[in-house]
Structure 1
Amino acid sequence: MSQMQIPFVKEVEEMLETAKNMKPEDLEFKYKGILYPSLLSQPENIDAMESFEAREDDILLGAYPKCGYNWMIQVLNKIAFSAGKLKNPKYIPYLEFTNPEKMKNLSTLPSTRILGTHMNPDNIPVSFFEKKSKILVVLRNPKDTAVSYFHFYNKNPVLPTFESWDKFFSQYMSGDVMWGSYFDHAVAWEKYIDSENVKIVTYEDLKANLTEGVEDIAKYLNYTLSDEQIQTIAEECTFDAMKDKSQETHGSFSKVIFRKGGVGDWKNHFSEEQSKEVDAKFEQCLAGTKLGAKIKYEVHCK
């Protein structure tokens, strides 16, 4: 375990212990219409994001919850480390989890800084777009995202639990879950589909061919890696490989983060009516768009 990882795991363990003594309603707060986890973030954190100064050589990882964020943390760390841009792979701070004091400390970090967020792109610091920092976005099909998010809620002491899948599904579709609506996020990212400083990849494509995905991401970052380095990163970042080391990297929180990591599990949860409801929402929001095509909805959600 890297020295950067040790305080992170300790901090997570303390947070999980605190959550045990909290009422469900105290585990979340709503800010500007969006729910956030109160043990991880506060309104002042989100306010502080607005004035955050990005750098041209920053890398920002953006993803709606349960779309592969923790997976891509590992991939980005290993790519940057192998390219000689990082001395040691390290924990990537979520901007919305960073209090104002820690936000100031980010300005003292040497380049290359790798940062992350679950925020809707409309709420990401504008300096990332002004400075044309590299932004990597990972998307997942909306049905598998819903199932993974449901289990994440109910296994995670930091979040309130749902008494049923049906109750969760209803709130997922209305956007009344942490970080808001999946579809609002996807529609917002569609605006950047042709941007030179935003690369959108999908969970499903990465699962199908991680070696190709690693090579593609490295090229986007303008990093030169050997075929051997690319293959090694791909082998070390499979779901099974990461799950095997998750106790070391994430402590007891590993049981919350790493479940199945597959594609198509939605078929074990969705009723026919629920499936049709998501189909209609996709048709309304993303059908005919470049981002909609990238998700390969007909392949993964039918």
Structure 2
Amino acid sequence: SKATNMAKPQNKLADEIEKAVEKMKGVSLKDLRFFYQGTPYPVHICSAETFKALENLEARRDDMVLVSYPKCGVNWLIYLLNDLIFTTSQTKQENTELPFIECGDPEKYQRMEQLPSPRILATHLLYDNLPKSIFKNKAKILVLFRNPKDTAASFFHFHNNTPNVPSYISWDEFFSEFMSGKVSWGSYFDHAVAWNKHIEDENVMLITYEDLKENLTSGLKQIAEFFGFSPTAEQIQSIADRGNFQAMREKSQEIYGPIGPVLFRKGVVGDWKNLFSDAQSKEMDAKFKECLGGTKLEAKMKYDVYCKA
């Protein structure tokens, strides 16, 4: 019916996300994931065919590559970057693909070739699994980290609050799967250890969710500079006003469809304290120390500030 189509602004991205979530209906946790080169991925949005096709993705020098582990705030960052591009150059990216390069059908890379620059290439992939052309063509890579305790809490709520997404029996069950890397996209700690080796690399910049929450305008300024934009102070301020977490939460349904409010659930720092037992907190501290104690990444993430009860 034409009439209803006209009444509802067509949002291709929300449709794609809704289709993806729809595919999970009735899927159990154990059927949710398949392994590709040793890492678990969600079967409803990733496939071996797409991973094979991804190897031929031709990155451009001016692509804006955004890397994060799941639930670290990357959807927020994508929104901010889109606003930055639009504000400074008046080009609007038509968001019609699932936002992560490894998600979707194998033909998506041909469609991406038609997109105007600068493109945002978001991904949850481990360093070694990124398409080689990103390094070959020297695209800039912005890596977003969030403290592991809030990341785990957010990941759990995503599973247990999103319609159609299979739930865990309990937080304790999720916690042990998270600690052993048996969740989609694998281990947070493997991801962190790999990126810690590369945070000094040319063309790489690291930013934390906590820093963005603390001072969004300063974070936006650094990001703009890194990607070679020169917005005015007023432009930065207006992007920050439109893109603070509260504003995003209100717009989330419109942009992402029904899943929006789950993606932008609380956006607070320290929510982990509502879930972690004392023993779990200590277990994660020990694991973090063992993997990243004394590293630049630990300092940058201010682990002791955000992860001590």
> TM-score when scaled to structure 1?
0.94
Aligned: 1:219 with 2:236: no
Q: How is 1:219-258 mapped onto 2 (pairs within 5 angstroms)?
A: 219-258=225-264
Distance in structure 2 (CA, Å) of the matches to 1:53 and 1:253: 30
Amino acid at match of 2:11: I
Give the structure 2 partner of residue 12 of structure 1.
17
Q: Once the 2 structures are TM-superposed, how far is the Cα of residue 273 of structure 1 from its aligned partner?
A: 1.0
Indicate how the Cα distance of structure 1 residues 5 and 274 shifts in structure 2: closer, same or farther if over 3 A, else same.
farther
SS in 2 for 1:255: helix
Q: Which runs of 5+ in 2 are unaligned?
A: 1-7
Q: Once the 2 structures are TM-superposed, how far is the Cα of residue 4 of structure 1 from its aligned partner?
A: 10
Distance in structure 1 (CA, Å) of the matches to 2:262 and 2:278: 28
Amino acid at match of 2:25: K
Aligned: 1:168 with 2:174: yes
Deviations 1:107-140 (A, max 9, x none): 2222111111111111111111121101111100
Identity, % of aligned positions: 52
Distance in structure 2 (CA, Å) of the matches to 1:124 and 1:85: 29
Distance in structure 2 (CA, Å) of the matches to 1:104 and 1:298: 45
Q: Once the 2 structures are TM-superposed, how far is the Cα of residue 20 of structure 1 from its aligned partner?
A: 2.4
**Equivalent residue in structure 1 for 2:301, among 292, 295, 299:** 295
Q: Aligned Cα RMSD in Å?
A: 1.9
Aligned: 1:183 with 2:180: no
SS in 1 for 2:40: strand
Q: Once the 2 structures are TM-superposed, how far is the Cα of residue 212 of structure 1 from its aligned partner?
A: 0.5
Give the structure 1 partner of residue 58 of structure 2.
53
Amino acid at match of 1:297: Y
Deviations 1:19-50 (A, max 9, x none): 32444443322222222111111111112222
Aligned: 1:201 with 2:207: yes
Distance in structure 1 (CA, Å) of the matches to 2:213 and 2:74: 13
Indicate how the Cα distance of structure 1 residues 91 and 187 shifts in structure 2: closer, same or farther if over 3 A, else same.
farther
Give the structure 1 partner of residue 41 of structure 2.
36
Contact 1:85/1:112 (CA < 8 Å) preserved in 2? no
Give the structure 1 partner of residue 146 of structure 2.
140
**Equivalent residue in structure 1 for 2:70, among 65, 70, 84:** 65
Q: Which runs of 5+ in 1 are unaligned?
A: none
> TM-score when scaled to structure 2?
0.92
Distance in structure 2 (CA, Å) of the matches to 1:282 and 1:114: 30
Amino acid at match of 2:39: I
Work out the number of aligned pairs and report it. 300
